[in-house]
Chains A and B, each alone.
Chain A
Amino acid sequence: MIEGLLGGLSGLFTLHNMLLLVLGCGLGTFIGMMPGLGPVTAISLLIPVVLTLEPASAMVLLAAIYYGAMFGGSTASVLINAPGESSSVPTTFDGYPMAKKGQAGKALALCAWGSFVGGTIATMLLMLAAPTLASWALTFQAPEYFALMVLGLTAVAAFAEEGGALKALLMTVLGLMIATIGTDIADGVERYTFHIADLADGISFVLLAMAAFALSEAILAALRNQPVSEEAKKAARGDVGSLKLTKDDVREVAPAVARSSLIGFVVGVLPGAGATIAAFMSYAVERNLARGARREEFGKGSRRGVAAPETANNAAAGGAYVPLLTLGIPGSGTTAVILGALVALGVQPGPRLFVDQSDMFWTVVVSMYVGNLILLAINLPLIPQIARTLAIPERMLVPLILFFCLIGVYLVSFNAFDLWVMIGLAVVCVGLRLLDYPMAPLLLGFVLGKLMEENLRRALIVNDGSFAFLWERPVTAGLLAVSIACLAAPVLARVFKRKG
């Protein structure tokens, strides 16, 4: 491990990688802070840039944007009661009341320190857990990989919002369907291309990610037409109050931060769960643990209520890297986008990554430590200045996002056909998003589609066409049993709710 860390240090400390790290932290913070734009949008928008980099540098940049956006998401939650992404929603419960009491600076400082501690603890746990899990996963063969992907895809149903499990599953299937467009690698035959040469290589991942997240998000913003709020204008004046934390503040939040780091990491590791569930769960835990007057403070400006979800969502971002790097299974929309970008760069995350490209893993781990420090060092003193960007009106921001999407896709292929496909997909995605169809499962299905088919094909060929491998191999059977439990969970939850 020490050897790996030293290798990671030498991999990271080049001028190029350090600049990318600072750039990723800054851009992530900026985009994550914009109401409605979360890490997945931030990463989607920057994929075209990422694809021009070396794989290790690309991973450093992607990771920095990810936790930078998690970090930035808190600013809009506290200052204008408009979370940048869903995992920052619980931060509004107490962050905004603190801001209304004139303690916005303190709330933001709590978020910053909580994010820093959560991110750092999660990186430590990632460093310990990932190699162990990867060495175990090295024994996996096609049936286990197939089962693992089934688990990754079905887990999204278990964690979907109430009534949303069916929609999440359908979106997963839709993603898998889109992944089949193009030339089938094994048989060399075209599928669903309608003899259009531009479709022979399939739908580009960049295109789908842009359409599902950034582009549809911008069109939805134009549809809703929300003017810049008074809170945003006030925040833009940079008047956030003192950013200093007292000893009493630290004593109050320290246990909550420790607990939330662990909760965040564990939930982040689970496929399908992610930062949002981690943030809500840690908030609920802290509220339930609080007694007397402390409990009364929740919802009215509790310091624990601010620190806990922010710590947990950043820890979850670190945790999400465990299944991504060790098994090649993304647990969330954001990690699905990261996986897609890595595959496009020729890197296949999974247990072999630790054998063939361990230096890359350690470079990313070290970059996470340093990146969390950079976020704290740069962003904390600059919070008043960063807050000014909250007043950028949508009439300027939305066309710029659309423009980034268009040139992002165009510059990958220099083919206007891709723009047409993206616009068409964005229209469909906007319609589906208005009806609460989740986009993350669509991308998960798309990213895992080809691998899933390939592993199923191999497993069936090795087993002479028999599906017996599904129940005869213990790990495969175990993973599929968990998948079935995931599918049954929403149904059972509804039954118990009705009875209770």
Chain B
Amino acid sequence: MTRLRAERFAALALFAFSLGYFLLAFQIKVPPGPDDSPFSARSFPFGLGALGMVLSFALLVKPPAGAAIGAVRFEWGRAAGLLGLMAAFALTIDALGFVVASALFLAAGFRILGERRPAILAPVAAGTALGFWIMFELLDVKLDWGVFGRLFG
């Protein structure tokens, strides 16, 4: 995607967001009161939505020039892998508990970014997760062990 196209796409997305925000402001329930109240819960969102549309439209019509995005080679796969890993962490933290979910997250993160040596990858991941657990125990913050806590607790 060329820079100009990417700029236009972003401006269009922000315009759509502002438009949606503006339209959704109609759905904000205003509590009963005098009709001529100068300010309600809707007033600010209306103003912001309108302003957002004006500014994003201006960017859409005249996007600023910038360096081509393709000038730098990006590793999209690595970033997507990390995002997927974060989503997996969010999904599993309650079930697996803090220590196991954290250790798995770190080990997989190191692996995705190119650390191949198990002798470094595993101890650093497990050590960091356990270290944080001990620190939080000392601070009297109780972290759940998830399914393992129920199995062995």
**Chain A residues proximal to chain B, CB less than 8 Å:** 52, 163-164, 166-167, 169-170, 173-174, 176-177, 180, 184, 186-192, 218-219, 222-225, 393-396, 398-400, 402-403, 406-407, 410-411, 416, 419-420, 423, 426-427, 430-432, 434-437, 453, 456-457, 460-461, 463-466
Which residue from A396, A453, A464 sits with its C-beta under 8 Å from B38? Answer: A464
**Chain B residues proximal to chain A, CB less than 8 Å:** 6-7, 10, 14, 17-18, 21, 24-25, 28-31, 36-41, 43-45, 48-49, 51-52, 55-56, 58-59, 64-66, 69, 72, 74-76, 78-79, 82-83, 85-87, 89-91, 93-94, 98, 102, 105-106, 109-110, 112-115, 124, 128, 132, 136, 139, 141
Report the bound CA distance from A187 to B21 in whole Å: 19
Closest CB-CB distance, B26 to chain A, in whole Å?
A: 12
Cβ contact within 8 Å between B76 and A223: yes
Cβ contact within 8 Å between A52 and B105: no
Q: Cβ of A437: which chain B residues have Cβ within 8 Å of it? A: 10
Cβ contact within 8 Å between A406 and B89: yes
Q: Cβ of A431: which chain B residues have Cβ within 8 Å of it? A: 10
Closest CB-CB distance, A395 to chain B, in whole Å?
A: 4
Closest CB-CB distance, B75 to chain A, in whole Å?
A: 5
Which residue from A180, A411, A419, A457 sits with its C-beta under 8 Å from B48? Answer: A180
Q: Cβ of B45: which chain A residues have Cβ within 8 Å of it? A: 177, 180, 191-192
Cβ contact within 8 Å between B66 and A163: yes
Closest CB-CB distance, A415 to chain B, in whole Å?
A: 9
Listed from nearest, the 6 A-B pairs whose CB atoms lie closest are A399-B109, A465-B38, A163-B64, A395-B113, A419-B90, A184-B41
Which residue from A164, A192, A423, A457 sits with its C-beta under 8 Å from B21? Answer: A192
Closest CB-CB distance, A182 to chain B, in whole Å?
A: 11
Closest CB-CB distance, B74 to chain A, in whole Å?
A: 5
Q: Cβ of B39: which chain A residues have Cβ within 8 Å of it? A: 456-457, 460-461, 465
Q: Cβ of A465: which chain B residues have Cβ within 8 Å of it? A: 36-39
Which residue from B48, B85, B113 sits with its C-beta under 8 Å from A394? Answer: B113
Q: Cβ of A464: which chain B residues have Cβ within 8 Å of it? A: 38
